[in-house]
């Protein structure tokens, strides 16, 4: 484990320093393989949460033989505590769109979509304005890649890439069995790259800075910079861009209110880290990198926090697979029963085992990750669950 001092940087939100779509234009002067290699070399990983190496995803997509490929920007930001994508789309939509276009050009896609969560409908005209500029540029540059906005309709699970694709195909947003992965068999059965808003913006910056420069940021395990959505008991709520690799202790010192008891890293699908582990926890290492960080001070009841999460999961689970549909309900009812003394404290251990079954057997990331927050809260704040 290596960690570095907390450092605020200004990569993704750096002001536009070049003419519109200059980065895309420059990328298109190089060979496609070279650009994909640049992405691989940069060490950039998906910024949505799962952390798959972006360059590799593009490389696989490029290798697919198909008459049609798609590039989809996942702007279904629904993880509680996350709002960075909103800020990106408001402030630097061009970087997002450039990233999509570079990807499309490199992998050979001619059609792109921004899957925008329903709650962000008010951003449509703003994004469309930028898309108009982009399409004008694409026409001039002879780039055959058109982008449309696809509106979500209100479902957290559609942030899961195969659920998102189902939703775009006019169905219930239920995750698919994998394999096959979207890269082979995605939207309308065609190879499809789905990346998060921040991933595309970061890809643009990798092309702008070059892999060598980009990977100077961060540690060996995590390259580059990352946006953190900071909320909860913090005097500095908002989106902050930080170099990856800092310890949670530094983070809490910088952003907490001096009374921080725990930090939820990676949204409700991530881990709840108690104060005693701040020193040894590197944000993004072994936990998810979506960038949601919710800070809780000593006045907060961790039972209420967990109850809120579980209610969220039980509602936002798509409901198709047994462990997630029933498991989320059981965990919620279970902690209520322990709290109200209808079940003994030891029942919590049974529930931790259940959460592990959910991790092992759920169809998608939602059910698989419930155990992260559940077990970390139950183990670290057991008394609060009981009394």
- The CB-of-135 to other proteins minimum distance in angstroms stands at 19
- The CB-of-339 to other proteins minimum distance in angstroms stands at 13
Asked if residue 257 lies in contact with residue 42, where contact means CB atoms within 8 angstroms, the answer is no
CA dist list (Å): 185 to 48, 103, 115, 116, 159? 20, 17, 18, 22, 18
- Of 15 and 179, CB closest to other proteins: 179
Closest by Cα among 306, 323, 308, 311 to 367: 323
- The CB-of-170 to other proteins minimum distance in angstroms stands at 3
For the chain, count helices (H), then strands (E): 15, 9
In angstroms, the CA 216 to CA 8 distance is: 14
- Of 44 and 272, CB closest to other proteins: 272
- The CB-of-325 to other proteins minimum distance in angstroms stands at 6
- Of 237 and 382, CB closest to other proteins: 237
Closest by Cα among 183, 186, 238, 195 to 76: 195
HSE, CB side, 13 Å, CA atoms: give it for residue 224: 31
Asked if residue 1 lies in contact with residue 285, where contact means CB atoms within 8 angstroms, the answer is yes
- The CB-of-150 to other proteins minimum distance in angstroms stands at 8
- Of 39 and 348, CB closest to other proteins: 348
345 secondary structure, DSSP code: T
HSE, CB side, 13 Å, CA atoms: give it for residue 321: 20
- Of 12 and 294, CB closest to other proteins: 294
In angstroms, the CA 301 to CA 335 distance is: 13
- Of 219 and 372, CB closest to other proteins: 372
- Of 314 and 378, CB closest to other proteins: 314
- The CB-of-312 to other proteins minimum distance in angstroms stands at 6
- Of 76 and 249, CB closest to other proteins: 76
- The CB-of-379 to other proteins minimum distance in angstroms stands at 19
Asked if residue 250 lies in contact with residue 5, where contact means CB atoms within 8 angstroms, the answer is yes
- Of 61 and 305, CB closest to other proteins: 305
Q: Which residues of 201-237 are buried (b: 16+ CB within 10 A; e: fewer)?
A: bbbbbbbbbebeebbebbbebbbbbbbbbbbbbbeee
- The CB-of-248 to other proteins minimum distance in angstroms stands at 18
- The CB-of-330 to other proteins minimum distance in angstroms stands at 5
> Three-state SS for 279?
coil
Asked if residue 289 lies in contact with residue 47, where contact means CB atoms within 8 angstroms, the answer is yes
């Amino acid at each position: 484990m290596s960690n570095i001092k907390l450092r605020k940087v200004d990569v993704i939100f750096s002001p536009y320093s070049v003419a519109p779509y200059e980065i895309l234009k420059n990328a298109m002067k190089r060979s496609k393989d070279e650009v994909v290699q640049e992405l691989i070399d940069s060490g950039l990983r998906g910024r949505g949460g799962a952390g798959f190496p972006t360059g590799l995803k593009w490389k696989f997509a490029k290798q697919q033989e198909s008459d049609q490929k798609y590039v989809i920007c996942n702007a279904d930001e629904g993880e509680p505590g996350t709002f960075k994508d909103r800020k990106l789309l408001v402030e630097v939509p061009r970087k997002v769109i450039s990233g999509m276009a570079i990807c499309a050009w490199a992998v050979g896609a001619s059609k792109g979509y921004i899957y925008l969560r329903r709650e962000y409908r008010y951003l449509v005209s703003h994004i469309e304005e930028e898309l108009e500029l982009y399409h004008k540029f694409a026409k001039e540059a002879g780039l055959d890649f058109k982008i449309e906005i696809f509106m979500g309709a209100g479902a957290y699970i559609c942030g899961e890439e195969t659920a998102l694709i189902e939703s775009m195909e006019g169905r219930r947003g239920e995750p698919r069995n994998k394999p096959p992965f979207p890269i082979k068999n995605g939207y309308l059965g065609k190879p499809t790259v789905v990346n998060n808003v921040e991933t595309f913006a970061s890809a643009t910056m990798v092309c702008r800075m070059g892999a060598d420069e980009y990977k100077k940021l961060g540690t060996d395990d995590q390259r580059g910079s990352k946006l953190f959505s900071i909320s909860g008991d913090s005097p500095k709520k908002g989106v902050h861009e930080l170099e990856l690799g800092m310890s949670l202790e530094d983070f809490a010192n910088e952003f907490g209110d001096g009374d921080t008891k725990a930090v939820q890293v990676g949204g409700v699908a991530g881990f709840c880290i108690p104060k005693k582990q701040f020193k040894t926890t590197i944000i993004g290492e072994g936990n998810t990198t979506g960038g949601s960080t919710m800070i809780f001070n000593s006045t907060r009841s961790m039972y209420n926090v967990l109850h809120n999460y579980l209610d969220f999961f039980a509602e936002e689970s798509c409901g198709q697979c047994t462990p997630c549909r029933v498991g989320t309900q059981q965990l919620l009812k279970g902690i209520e029963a322990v709290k109200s003394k209808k079940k003994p404290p030891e029942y919590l251990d049974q529930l931790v085992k259940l959460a592990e079954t959910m991790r092992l057997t759920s169809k998608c990331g939602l059910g698989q990750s419930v155990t992260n927050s559940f077990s970390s809260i139950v183990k670290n704040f057991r008394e609060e669950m009981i009394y």
